A = this chain, B = another copy of it.
């Protein structure tokens, strides 16, 4: 172990989750305890805050508020979707980063995010190395999408899955009160990977969930969909179908593109999706002429910290904490990852994945976990996902409403 003394910067990136702040608490509280970390800076809006030198001194925060980060959803330091150019094409951002790192003697960089953020981590680390500036860079995984390569699962997924499956159970009961026909379409996040949509199967497994579940891993066939909905509708008069926002037909056309709403692209070139539920609801309405509801879980599925998975909250904290410990011990260029340990009951260990390997590789739901009809999940998926939603976590409530962390954000 080689000792490296210096400040650390921690940043949050990408879409919010219920537990990204729990990882922040893990990084910050652990970094504040480490002797070799001389200062703990939080970057406002991720890498953008580093470039703009908007950095907060985390030692100025109340420890009670830092503790509350564990149960506070969204990104308390602010997030960003900022794509660093390749240093070969344009190294101006990298030069600025190096300048800031040198100015504040930053020797540790912790970045919490998904695929794109791990790519950012990797690029920064490579540049620092090529510049001969010693700095340890560690990625902390985060994504409700659960699509990061090399880790059993991602912090954020378990809580989103718990919200989705609980809400699906409640909607199941709600949609069944009348003895008249009703078809409900649930639209669930997940652009290319169906992990979130699949989590609705946890409700079905309890007998209170969707009858049909369509993941983006398989092409969405409208005729097959209407046929399957129709069969159940004829038999029971009630149908709940869960569909990924990223559902697309065999030609790659999103269901959401079947409407007049024009599609926009985000700064990573991803197509902005939405509207799948309402489009399917109107098609189903026209086909079956019954009561139909299209429901989007929208932002609630990623920020409902009041119904977080305790397992997820604790693992998110641990991921942040371990990133700091490994870095202090000399590791760099890794993302902290989870591996399921052998045994009958769920236990989760920590391992490290090279950033080179994780960046920009998407992990999808294995096809063998989708049932043969392509409209549901197998028991293997249930066995995989069920441990991740165990335990209930939520913020303390004060006077009827959640008490979330309030950071002072003292600029350096």
Does residue A175 face the partner (Cβ distance < 8 Å to B)?
A: yes
Q: A173-B72, A177-B75, A404-B169 are in contact. Are A293 and B299 (CB under 8 A)?
A: yes
A305-313, A330-338, A357-365: which one contacts chain B? A305-313
Question: CA of A178 to CA of B79 in the docked complex: distance in angstroms?
Answer: 5
Given known contacts A401-B202, A401-B206, A404-B208, A304 and B389 CB-to-CB distance under 8 angstroms = no
The docked-state distance in angstroms from the alpha carbon of A88 to that of B397 is 53
Instruction: Report the separation of the CA atoms of residues A389 and B386 in the bound assembly, to the nearest whole angstrom.
Output: 31
Number of copies: 2
Chain B: minimal CB distance from A324 (Å)? 23
Q: Are A400 and B390 in contact (CB under 8 A)?
A: yes
Q: Are B307 and A16 in contact (CB under 8 A)?
A: no
In the complex, chain A residues 84-107 whose Cβ is within 8 Å of any chain B Cβ: none
Contact partner, A173, options B206, B298, B303, B397, Cβ 8 Å: B303
Give the contacts of A57-80 with B (CB-CB under 8 A).
72-76, 78-80
CA distance A178 to B49 in the complex (A): 11
Give A400 to B293 CA distance when docked, in angstroms.
Answer: 27
Q: Is the CB of A170 within 8 A of B202?
A: no
Q: How far is the CB of A210 from chain B (nearest CB, A)?
A: 14
Q: Is the CB of B306 within 8 A of A173?
A: no
**Does A203 interact with chain B (Cβ within 8 Å)?**
yes
What are 6 A-B contacts with C-beta separation under 8 Å?
A74-B176, A162-B400, A171-B299, A173-B303, A202-B400, A295-B299
Question: A: which residues have CB within 8 A of B?
Answer: 12, 15-16, 44-45, 48, 72-76, 78-81, 162, 165-167, 169-171, 173-179, 202-203, 206, 208, 261, 278, 282, 293, 295-296, 298-300, 302-307, 309, 386, 389-392, 397, 399-402, 404
